[in-house]
């Protein structure tokens, strides 16, 4: 199509700018299009007007006019042939035109609203040959009188055949659209989008064309082999792209609008994917009856499992027949109860005849005794014997019962009171056996889950107590409080991670006053400082320090001048200094009283024989009456310590104030047995020269950290200076004989 028109010819490079300026002034003829000429100019269709106006315009565009025509940068040309502009009247323009013509026909209708143009539809949706106009269009009742004539005009203008009018979407669960069909017989429409055909009835189902991008995005997911659930499937809005393009294995489509369901199945069939979609119609929140039954059945099963079944035992066992069982039983050979030939070195005990006092008759040879832990020489004290004898004449020997069942004698109460007052604690409790005091006390407090920090050198009864407590035991190096502090800090770090647990985990530190296994003294003051920094409780075992250390023999706390309350529990045997039998614990009533029901060795054992109790009472009296013996004892300890220094090939372990010293091989061999044999030979030599000493015995396999073999020397306050020096000399010569060969 072409037509003729006045043209303004300008250089092609300026054509665009000029055309814009012309359009602004309304001089551009919109019916035609700009034509590019072969000579590099362009012809712009213009509406004819006064020439003088051109000058102003073209000057503004930067084109000169006073040049010869040959060099003219622009000219006007009449009747140039132009192609027609692509512009076609918009549907709205057509609509206005069509309605105007109808209104022309019905000029006589008086009620024509003055704003009739505004009531024409502004937006409409087109689905195939059906248009849905918006709700506000033709709102006035004025239009009603026209009937189909009007609607036909509208359809023509919009280029469709059917017409419907949008209403408000109903607020029901189905979001039913309120669409009224104005022209046409039905509302079924089809739409193709991304290669998928959607069919639905506009009167009953929604379709939002604006979501095309979202659908495209869904179509791009790779769902190969997957099962997809479309919770609100509608007519297959997303179900179809996922099935067609994403290649899902199966789509579960939930929908409850029956109309949508109808079209969903139609769409699935039309797109040939109905075999890969399972429709779950109806309200899927509502459980069907069979579901309720299933749930009830499961609940019954759970109840049965919880309350009516025997304890759960995994069936990992194969059922054996009776004959097979019998054969297994026949074949089983247990290990012997004890090894047929035990080979420990201490099978043959040395036999002591008579009392093992300052002098002792070992295997019929009288020796000076440096092996009994009879530090105060009370074993032979006539005073103690007399007290015990009068007790024996009153009470007999045994108690024939535990403390709870008539095994509490008045002397027990007296002894407990005496111990408590002597140790300046609130309460004391006595046990019938030395080792059972500490090994019952520890598990009375420390339970599973608690943390006990223990010195690596603690004696075996303490280790047994720790084992019985089932607590978490952290071992720190012997007397190494830096190591202890490190462990405490580790614990503190753990506590910070788990503060809830930290609130219930009790912390204990168990130490010995003087270590039986090493003879070293526990650095109590530093430990007490640590205690208040890290909030742990101290259990102190004083078997070697009670009746030894301190100016009046009260033990380690007195030695260091520490308040007794700073130590939570002090425990000791009465079998060393006091030279009787049994043990005791003392401390605050808050702590000690608990053992009266929880200390196993206290509750479930016969109580201490009264004669032994009376002996302990008498021994305590003697300690109180003659405190100077402790000074003497310390001097003797120091003397022994000095005397045994410098023996070739032997090293001395233990503190100068300790009543026990450990003599070890300076260079132990690889074999424990050989070391024991060497030391044993020294002991035997000493015995031949009239000095009874002994190896510190231990059962290596049961010790957590077996101490290296040693000879344990013990001081008795009654030993004279000469006797101690003699004993040291005998040891020295025996050692040199055996070690320097």
Partner 1 sequence: MMSYLCPPRTVQQMTKMWRNVKRTPEEDSPHGPYKVPFHESFEETPMMVAVITYMGYGVLTLFGYLRDFLRSRGIEHCHNAMEREEQKDFVPLYQDFENFYTRNVYMRLRDNWNRPICSVPGACFDVMERVSDDYNWNFRFTGNILQGVINMGSYNYLGFAENKGPCMEAAAEVMQTYGVGVCSTRQEIGNLDKHEELEELTAKFLGVEAAMAFGMGFATNSMNIPALVKKGCLILSDELNHVSLVLGARLSGATIRIFKHNNMKSLEQLLREAIVHGQPRTHRPWKKILIIVEGIYSMEGSIVRLPEVVVLKRKYKAYLYLDEAHSIGAVGPTGRGVVDYFGMDPRDVDIMMGTFTKSFGAAGGYIGGSKALVDFLRANSHSAAYATSMSPPVAQQIISSMKCIMGDDGTTIGQDRITQLLRNTRYFRQRLRNLGFVIYGNDDSPVVPLLIYLPAKTGAFGREMLKRRIGVVVVGFPATTIIESRARFCVSAAHTREMLDTVLKEMDEVGDLLNVKYSRHRRQQQLTEEPVY
The separation between the first and the last C-alpha atoms of the chain, rounded to the nearest angstrom, is 134
Rounded Cα–Cα distance for residues 418 and 437 (Å):
17
* Residue of the chain from 213, 290, 332, 670 that contacts partner 1 (CB under 8 A): 332
Nearer to partner 1, 79 or 324 (CB): 324
Q: Which is closer to partner 1, CB of 79 or CB of 565?
A: 565
The stretch among 57-65, 143-151, 175-183, 327-335 that binds partner 1 (CB under 8 A) is: 327-335
Which of the residues 493 through 552 are near partner 1 (CB under 8 A)? 502-507, 532, 535-537
Is residue 346 within 8 Å of residue 697, measured between CB atoms? yes
Question: Which residue lies nearer to partner 1 by CB, 133 or 660?
Answer: 660
Of 150, 183, 692, 734, which lies in the binding site for partner 1, with binding defined by CB under 8 A? 692
Counting every residue written for the chain, the total comes to 741
Ramachandran angles phi, psi of 153, nearest 5°: -60, -40
d(CA 262, CA 236): 10
Residue of 480, 469, 458 whose CA lies nearest to 506: 469
CB of 573 to partner 1, least distance (A): 7
Establish if 581 lies at the interface with partner 1 (CB under 8 A): yes
3 state SS of 221: coil
In angstroms, the CA 703 to CA 134 distance is 95
Q: According to the binding rule CB under 8 A, does residue 329 interact with partner 1?
A: yes
Stretch that binds partner 1, among 82-90, 141-149, 250-258, 391-399 (CB under 8 A): 391-399
Please report the DSSP string for 71-140 in residue order.
G-S-EEEEEEEEEBPS----HHHHHHHHHHHHHHHTTT-TT--TTGGGGS-S-EEEETTEEEE-TTTT-S
Contacting residue, 373, 571, 650, 676, with partner 1 by CB under 8 A: 373
Query: In the set 413, 424, 666, 704, which binds partner 1 (CB under 8 A)?
Result: 413
Task: Specify the stretch interacting with partner 1 by CB under 8 A; choose among 138-146, 259-267, 288-296, 464-472.
Answer: 464-472
Please name the residues in contact with 301: beta carbons below 8 A apart, sequence gap of 6 or more.
none
Contact 153, 103 (CB under 8 A): no
Near partner 1 by CB under 8 A: residue from 307, 308, 312, 349:
349
Which two three-digit tokens encode residue 340?
């047929």
Which part of the chain contacts partner 1 (CB under 8 A), choosing from 281-289, 354-362, 476-484, 718-726? 354-362
For partner 1, the binding residues in 591-610 under the rule CB under 8 A are 591, 593-594, 596-597, 600-601, 603-606, 608-609
Residue whose entry in the numeric block shows the structure tokens 């590019």: 36
Q: In the bound complex, what is the minimum distance in angstroms from residue 644's beta carbon to partner 1?
A: 18
300 dihedral zone (left: phi>0; alpha: psi -120 to 50; beta): alpha
Restricting to residues 695-714, name those near partner 1 by CB under 8 A. 695-699, 702, 712
d(CA 478, CA 592): 27
Q: Is 658 in the site for partner 1 (CB under 8 A)?
A: no
By CB under 8 A, tell whether 184 contacts partner 1. Answer: no
CA 260 to CA 175: how far, in whole Å? Answer: 10
Give least dist CB 633 to partner 1, A: 14
DSSP β-bridge partners for residue 510: 454, 539
Residue 96 is a binding residue for partner 1 (CB under 8 A): no
| Separation of alpha carbons 378 and 547, rounded Å | 11
Q: x-or-dash pattern for partner 1, window 441-460, by CB under 8 A? A: ----x-------------xx
What is the total count of residues that contact partner 1 (CB under 8 A)?
123
Q: Does 492 bind partner 1 (CB under 8 A)?
A: no
Closest CA to 415 of 222, 584, 208: 584
Question: Which stretch, 118-126, 147-155, 188-196, 687-695, contacts partner 1 (CB under 8 A)?
Answer: 687-695
Shortest Cβ distance from residue 699 to partner 1 (Å)? 5
When binding is defined by CB under 8 A, the residue of 155, 239, 371, 658 that contacts partner 1 is 371
Q: What is the dihedral of CA 293, 297, 299, 303, to 10 degrees?
A: 150
Out of 137, 240, 266, 612, name the contact with partner 1 by CB under 8 A.
Answer: 612
Q: Return the ∠ at Cα 709 (arms to 741 and 679), rounded to 5°.
A: 30
Q: How many CB atoms lie within 10 A of CB 178?
A: 12
Q: How far is the CB of 598 from partner 1 (least distance, A)?
A: 9
Residues 261-320 that bind partner 1 (CB under 8 A): 317, 320
Considering only the stretches 134-142, 193-201, 551-559, 567-575, report the one whose residues sit in contact with partner 1 under the rule CB under 8 A.
Answer: 567-575
């Amino acid at each position: 199509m072409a037509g003729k028109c006045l043209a303004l010819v300008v250089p092609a490079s300026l054509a665009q700018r000029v055309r814009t300026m012309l359009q602004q002034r309304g001089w551009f003829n919109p019916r035609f299009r700009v034509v590019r000429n072969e000579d590099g100019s362009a012809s712009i269709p213009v509406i004819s007007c006064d020439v003088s106006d051109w000058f102003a315009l073209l000057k503004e565009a930067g084109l000169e006019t006073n040049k010869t025509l040959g060099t003219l940068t622009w000219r006007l040309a009449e009747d140039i042939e132009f192609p027609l502009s692509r512009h076609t009247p918009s549907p709205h323009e057509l609509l206005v035109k069509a309605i105007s013509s109808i209104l022309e026909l019905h000029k006589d209708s008086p009620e024509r609203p003055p704003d009739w143009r505004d009531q024409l539809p502004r937006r409409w949706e087109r689905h195939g040959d059906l248009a849905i106009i918006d709700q506000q269009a033709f709102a006035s009742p004025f239009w009603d009188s026209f009937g189909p004539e009007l609607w036909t005009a509208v359809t023509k203008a919009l280029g469709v055949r059917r017409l419907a009018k949008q209403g408000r979407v109903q607020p029901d669960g189905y979001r039913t659209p309120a669409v009224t069909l104005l022209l046409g017989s039905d509302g079924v429409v089809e739409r193709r989008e991304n290669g998928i055909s959607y069919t639905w009835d506009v009167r009953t189902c929604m379709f939002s064309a604006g979501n095309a991008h979202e659908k495209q995005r869904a179509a791009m997911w790779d769902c190969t082999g997957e099962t997809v659930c479309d919770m609100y499937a509608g007519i297959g809005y997303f179900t179809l792209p996922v099935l067609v393009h994403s290649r899902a294995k199966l789509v579960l489509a939930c929908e409850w609008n029956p109309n949508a369901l109808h079209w969903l199945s139609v769409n699935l069939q039309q797109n040939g994917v109905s075999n890969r979609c399972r429709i779950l119609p109806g309200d899927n929140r509502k459980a069907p009856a069979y579901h309720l039954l299933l749930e009830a059945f499961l609940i019954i099963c759970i109840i049965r499992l919880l309350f009516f079944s025997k304890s759960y035992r995994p069936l990992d066992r194969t059922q054996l027949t009776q004959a097979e069982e019998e054969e297994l039983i026949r074949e089983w050979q247990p290990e012997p109860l004890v090894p047929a030939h035990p080979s420990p070195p201490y099978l043959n005990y040395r036999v002591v005849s008579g009392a093992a006092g300052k002098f002792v008759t070992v295997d019929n040879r009288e020796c000076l005794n440096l092996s009994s832990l009879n530090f105060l020489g009370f074993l032979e004290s006539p005073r103690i014997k007399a007290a015990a004898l009068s007790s024996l004449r009153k009470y007999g020997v045994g108690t024939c019962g535990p403390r709870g069942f008539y095994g509490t004698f008045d002397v027990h109460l007296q002894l407990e009171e005496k111990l408590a007052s002597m140790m300046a604690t609130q309460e004391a409790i006595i046990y019938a056996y030395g080792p059972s005091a500490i090994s019952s006390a520890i598990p009375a407090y420390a339970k599973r889950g608690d943390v006990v920090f223990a010195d690596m050198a603690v004696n075996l009864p303490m280790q047994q107590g720790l084992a019985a407590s089932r607590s978490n035991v952290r071992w720190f190096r012997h007397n190494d409080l830096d190591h202890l502090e490190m462990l405490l800090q580790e614990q503190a770090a753990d506590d910070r991670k788990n503060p809830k647990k930290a609130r219930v985990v009790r912390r204990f530190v168990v130490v010995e006053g003087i270590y039986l296994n090493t003879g070293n003294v526990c650095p109590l003051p530093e430990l007490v400082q640590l205690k208040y920094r890290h909030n742990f409780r101290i259990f102190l075992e004083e078997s070697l320090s009670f009746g030894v250390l301190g100016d009046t023999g009260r033990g380690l706390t007195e030695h260091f001048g520490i308040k007794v309350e700073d130590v939570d529990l002090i425990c000791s045997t009465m079998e060393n200094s006091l030279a009787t039998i049994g043990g005791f614990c003392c401390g605050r009533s808050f702590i000690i009283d608990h053992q009266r029901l929880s200390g196993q060795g206290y509750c479930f054992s016969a109580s201490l024989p009264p004669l032994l109790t009376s002996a302990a009472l008498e021994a305590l009296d003697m300690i109180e009456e003659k405190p100077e013996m402790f000074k003497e004892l310390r001097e003797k300890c120091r003397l022994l310590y000095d005397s045994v220094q410098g023996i070739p090939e032997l090293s001395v372990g233990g503190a100068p104030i300790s009543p026990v010293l450990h003599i070890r091989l300076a260079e132990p061999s690889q074999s424990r047995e050989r070391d024991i044999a060497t030391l044993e030979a020294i002991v035997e030599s000493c015995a031949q020269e009239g000095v009874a000493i002994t190896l510190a015995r231990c059962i290596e396999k049961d010790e957590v950290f077996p101490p290296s073999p040693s000879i344990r020397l013990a001081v008795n306050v009654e030993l004279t200076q000469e006797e101690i020096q003699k004993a040291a000399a005998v040891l020295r010569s025996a050692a040199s004989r055996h070690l320097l060969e």
